[in-house]
A and B are shown apart, each in its own frame.
Chain A
Amino acid sequence: MDAIFDDFSQAQKQCDGNLLSQTLSPALSNEELRAIWRTCNAYDVKSVVKRGLQTSEIGKKGAIPKEELQCWTELYAAYWKSAGELLASSQASWTKVYEDWKEVLSILIRGYMSCGFESWTIPCLFVTGKYLREFAIKADAERGSSLDNAAEPNFQDDFDPEAQKNHCLEDCARQLNRVFNLCLSDRAPLESSRKWGIYHVANLLFKTYFKLNSASLSKNILKALSAGRGDMPPLEAFPKSQQVTFKYYEGVLRFLEEDYVQAEKFLTEAWSMCHNNALKNKELILTYLVPCHLLTTHTLPSKKLLEPYPRLQKLFLPLSQHIRKGELHQFDIALQENEDELVKRRIYLTLERGRDIALRNLLRKVFVAGGFEPPKTEGDKPVRRTRVPVAEFAAAISLGSQETLDNDEVECLLANMIYKNLMKGYIARERGIVVLSKSGAFPGTGV
């Protein structure tokens, strides 16, 4: 505990928010926690803390207003209580840890709201918020195994199946939202505004919403941010780590809304700013950036790009290869093999659309294999054969799968290619042929 008071004093003197936030970190070894826990007991904890803070270097100077010091006292007292709960957490419950830690966060919020905590101390909010989320997840996991809500009275018409599962994490999201608004609504001049904490908290909230499987709630955050954008420091002025995370989430959210152009823009920004050694983060970014690229520009990732990421190689390389070669059937198989993994990452439905590109490549092969028309007069530039029987395409499509499609279905696939501008031409149904454009039958592919 004395070490905490020393650090507190030191941090207050130098206005060092990070050092201060470390005094509130619960990520300590059991010995350290026990040391803290043993300094006092439930009866004298407040006086011990108060004395500790008052007799510390900064306290002696009287540099901290009485009211603020009182709030810090309560904060550390609550922290001490959590430390005890954490020590007991192997036998007791994470729910209690969560509840106690929530109290720490509440006191902290109160400190900002009414006790004049200065804005340089906001890293304390980050640390407490971060661990609140972790404790909530642990509490939910623990309860999930031993839960039956049979005892709770229920006046509703139906059960609420979700209510129990993520009980703590949902509450945590609400707490973090309070912190978000605490930062957002600060009217102090920018130099000393809590607004500098906004993106950090926003990222924490995104993370929580994604975990809760309600990513769409993130939109509220984005809305609040863009509404307040006028009197906020620009995103570029924030630490890069926060920028990258924020852009990543913004990109993924667009991705989930199927706005692949915007998604690609944000993800590319995140990609280019991401720290070179942050492999895990880069992998995450690529997971969504690669499908974006496939849909927007029809380009595939190179082996070299995916080299450092064996997992992504497994997901993307076979698919890419089959798309490139126009191997429809193998594409289907590869997609199916990785289905669970792809669904989990929410990219299955997007990658599935890569089949269009695979089909385009296959049809293009048929067209190229058709060769050239005999020139009408000597010396004319050779013209490709642009009238291709539907049957030829049909044969190509059923090549890998051994399953024959009837001509109507083949025509349907061709119609799709034409409709999506992947192929230029038209189907003359009566004659059973496809008439392709003489100039650029497959736009963007050189033929």
Chain B
Amino acid sequence: MVPSWPPVPPPPGTQAAAGFASPYQTTAFTPVQVRQSFGQPYPAPQPAYPVHAYGSPSHVTQSPQTNHSPSVTPASPAPSAEPARKKTVWPESVRNYVQRSFLPANLDDTVSRQEMEAKLKETITAANDGGYMYTINWEAMPLPQQMIKAERARSHTVQPPPAIPTADPSFSSPPAATSKKRKSSDLTDTDLAAGAWRNNGNRLEDRVTFTADKRLTANESPKTMSKFQKQQQKNMEKRQKRFHGDYTTHREPSPPPSDGPVVGTCQTLEKRYLRLTAPPVPSQVRPESVLRQTLELLKQKWRKEQNYSYICDQFKSMRQDLTVQNIRNEFTVEVYEIHARIALEKGDLGEYNQCQTQLKALYQRGIKGKPLEFKAYRILYFIHTANRSALNDALADLTTAEKAERPIKHALDVRSALALGNYHRFFRLYNDTPNMGAYLMDMFVGRERLAALCNLCKAYKPDVPLRFITEELYFESDADAAQFILDHDGQHLLEDRNGTVVFLTGKAGQHFEGPRAAAFARVDIKGQI
């Protein structure tokens, strides 16, 4: 029927994906292509207005010249039952849409024909009644089966489609590894579920090839009509409509995209991050079901490759997709939590802070996640930035019950130990930090060591064994402690006395005050909250 259709049905599991937007799915990682798709005019509302706020008329007027594609017009009118019964003359784009919905390649076993017909009817009637029949981008409209599945996924009433791996519950479980500091990837590695995939390497392979397959199909789909050309075609239709004079009738009701969040239709797992400068295009936004698969993929890639710039980029685009679709649920929380942990591990405080800001708001909405872990991070972070009013706010934000929970209690103890100058307790707490808090504590442990040294130098006379410094300030070894002192030009304060090194506190005087003041003056600015 439609010449541009792939002759071979795509392998099962990729159902609705292949059809539209295919030229853009090739590889999501070449910037040129992303830019290409951005250059495409935003299809939905603008051309509908006779008076334009921004430069879109140029697109409209250009279209007749640039449209070289004779193959766009489908050969036969839609025989499909639903819309044909009506007296109205349906525009070409709608008929194409209906046809596309019933293409065998797009059919989905889990969605019955009745459901699809009902959905189609609903969609098209709404478009007609709403007056945006001619202005909407039918190319980018999700197919009825996709919409139905998206609805199901959203309401969680039905099990998610088989392709979606269920969210890894292991992210919270305590690590079996006894290493002092956890890695964000450890969090998944250590429990049963993660162990399962390790033993059963097949599953991983499956998934990887699965995604590769899918991209391949997308590549193979014929390119007789590019998305851009379709767009041009549509613009021309609109333009003709305008000359017929009935155009203004479609102006009044506001066009649908601005009515609410977009519903994404993009089926590619990976997507490069690009800052939005215009309303998002549904075909370039991944719906939640796809994003869930993306998250699984990214978790694996992170474990295997540890390529932070890639992971960060991918997480940013995921966050963007979630935001533009207004998805705020436990999955959203999970995405932000994982990104925050990875950013923390890599010391990317800018991204970490962005995630934390979001998480705070999400937890406040009562969405489940790991609020204890992340509230504790907040406190540690504010200790690092020495932001007392924010610390005060963080305290105000805690309930009595939360204060008793281990991560938060730990962070509060750290805070009070430092407030009271109790370096002894502080370094014991440092050694026993839950979750990934040690990454945060690492940021200020150096300056606290200097502060403690200042204390020791003034209080102890005439000297103390170096071992005492090592233990009190929690250095890994005497050598580390000595190195720390040497790093701050304290070589004259170390003395070898019959095989034991002593630290001449009595002679130190104000020696460490300068470095201490300097260390406390330096507070990070990047994305600070």
Given contacts A349-B388, A352-B419, contact A158 B424 (CB under 8 A): no
A419 to B451, CA, bound (A): 10
- B393 contacts across to A, CB distance below 8 A: 213
Task: Say how far B380's CB is from chain A's closest CB, in angstroms.
Answer: 16
A412 to B417, CA, bound (A): 11
- Across the two chains, which residue of chain B brings its CB closest to A164? B361
Residue B280, interface by CB 8 Å: yes
Given contacts A409-B424, A412-B424, A419-B454, contact A158 B319 (CB under 8 A): yes
Q: Which residues A126-156 have CB closer than 8 A to chain B?
A: 150-151, 153-156
Q: Which residues A255-310 have CB closer than 8 A to chain B?
A: 256, 258
B468 touches A429 (CB 8 A): yes
A409 touches B389 (CB 8 A): no
The 0/1 profile, CB within 8 Å of B marked 1, for residues 351-373 of chain A is: 01101100000000000000000
A159 to B424, CA, bound (A): 41
The 0/1 profile, CB within 8 Å of A marked 1, for residues 451-467 of chain B is: 00011101111101000
Residue B526, interface by CB 8 Å: no
Task: Say how far B131's CB is from chain A's closest CB, in angstroms.
Answer: 19
- A355 contacts across to B, CB distance below 8 A: 420
A427 touches B460 (CB 8 A): yes
Task: Say how far B275's CB is from chain A's closest CB, in angstroms.
Answer: 7
Residue B216, interface by CB 8 Å: no
- A256 contacts across to B, CB distance below 8 A: 388-389
The 0/1 profile, CB within 8 Å of B marked 1, for residues 394-422 of chain A is: 00000000000000110111111011100
Given contacts A154-B261, A215-B389, A352-B416, contact A343 B395 (CB under 8 A): yes
A352 touches B396 (CB 8 A): no
Chain B: interface secondary structure?
helix
The 0/1 profile, CB within 8 Å of A marked 1, for residues 412-433 of chain B is: 0000100111111100000000
Residue B226, interface by CB 8 Å: no
- B357 contacts across to A, CB distance below 8 A: 158, 161
Residue A120, interface by CB 8 Å: no
Residue B162, interface by CB 8 Å: no
Residue A346, interface by CB 8 Å: yes
A409 touches B422 (CB 8 A): yes
Chain A: interface secondary structure?
helix
For B279, give its contact among A155, A258, A415, A429 (CB under 8 Å).
A155
- A409 contacts across to B, CB distance below 8 A: 422, 424-425
- B396 contacts across to A, CB distance below 8 A: 340, 343-344
Residue B12, interface by CB 8 Å: no
- Across the two chains, which residue of chain B brings its CB closest to A216? B389
A156 touches B323 (CB 8 A): yes
Q: Which of B258, B454, B459, B472 has the most CB of A within 10 A?
A: B459
B392 touches A349 (CB 8 A): yes
A348 to B394, CA, bound (A): 12
Residue A426, interface by CB 8 Å: yes
Tally of chain B residues near chain A (CB < 8 A): 53
Residue A428, interface by CB 8 Å: yes
Residue B493, interface by CB 8 Å: no
- B424 contacts across to A, CB distance below 8 A: 408-409, 411-412
Residue B95, interface by CB 8 Å: no
Residue A380, interface by CB 8 Å: no
Residue B360, interface by CB 8 Å: yes
Residue A236, interface by CB 8 Å: no
Residue B248, interface by CB 8 Å: no
A418 to B458, CA, bound (A): 7
B319 touches A150 (CB 8 A): no
Q: Which residues A202-220 have CB closer than 8 A to chain B?
A: 213, 215-216
A216 to B320, CA, bound (A): 30
Residue A157, interface by CB 8 Å: yes
**21 CB < 8 A contacts A-B:** A150-B261, A150-B326, A155-B278, A157-B273, A158-B319, A159-B323, A161-B358, A161-B364, A343-B396, A348-B395, A352-B420, A411-B424, A411-B459, A412-B455, A415-B458, A419-B455, A419-B459, A420-B421, A426-B459, A427-B461, A429-B464
Q: A258-B388, A343-B396 are in contact. List 18 more A-B contacts (CB 8 A).
A: A150-B260, A150-B326, A153-B257, A153-B279, A154-B326, A155-B276, A155-B279, A157-B273, A157-B276, A157-B323, A159-B358, A159-B361, A161-B357, A256-B388, A339-B395, A348-B395, A415-B455, A415-B459
* A residues adjacent to B (C-beta < 8 A): 150-151, 153-159, 161, 213, 215-216, 256, 258, 339-340, 343-344, 346, 348-349, 352-353, 355-356, 408-409, 411-416, 418-420, 426-429, 435
For the complex of A and B, 9 pairs with smallest distance between CB atoms: A161-B361, A415-B459, A412-B424, A426-B461, A416-B421, A418-B459, A409-B424, A155-B276, A419-B455
